[in-house]
Structure formats: structure tokens, C-alpha cells
Amino acid sequence: MTDAAKKSVPLRAVALSVAFAGTLFWLYTFYGIAQVPVGDGSGFQWVAVMPLGLIFVVFTLPALVCGWKGHFLWVALVLGCAGLIAFGLLWKELLSEFYHGA
């Protein structure tokens, strides 16, 4: 392992941790959406999978790939953090939509 690679190990670990956290949250959203009360029975709540998937593909997946390969680690970290923020904001909005009557 080169000196440059040794110095980037902590940054790589943080970038991968953020990307894994985003991936786990994205997977959790499927369970969370499945637990939403039936409502009118149309299943329309599953439309929320699309923007959540878009956030995963645009932010989290590139961060995961870059972190895994060890390339562009700062970019991976920024993308991963941006993805977590986007997930949080969208999930907050979705929860208010899903449980507006509660």
C-alpha cells in the first residue's frame, strides 16, 4: 500500500460509512412504506419509491462506488452526505403525507 493510499484510509472509511448508511436507509424505506395504513386501497403510497430511488441513484450509489474503489473520496463523501440530507428531507415530507390524519 502506498503512502497516499495509507493516508486516505480514514477518509475512505468515512465515505463508505456514509454511503452504506444511505443504502441501508433506502432499503428501510421499502419496509416503512409497506407499513403505511391502507387508506383508499389504491397503493398510491408506492409512488414515493421513485424519488427515493432517484436520490439513491444520483447521490448514494456514486458515493458507494467511488468509496469502494477508493477514487474521488472527497466527492464520494460530499455526495453521500448530500444524499443523506435529501433522504431526510424527503422522508420527513412523506411521513407528513402518509400520516396527515394522525
How does pLDDT run across 20-64, given as a tens digit for each residue?
Answer: 999 999 999 999 988 887 766 777 888 899 999 999 999 999 999
Per-residue confidence (pLDDT) for residue 44, from 0 to 100:
83
Closest CA to 78 of 89, 66, 93: 66
Q: How far apart are CA 49 and CA 33, in angstroms?
A: 8
81 pLDDT exceeds 70?
yes
pLDDT score of 78:
97
Rounded Cα distance between 3 and 31, Å, is: 43
Cell numbers at 88, concatenated? 431526510
Q: How confident is the model at residue 43, as a pLDDT?
A: 79
Residue 28's pLDDT is 96
Task: Give pLDDT, residue 83.
Answer: 97
User: Is a pLDDT exceeding 60 seen at residue 97?
Assistant: yes
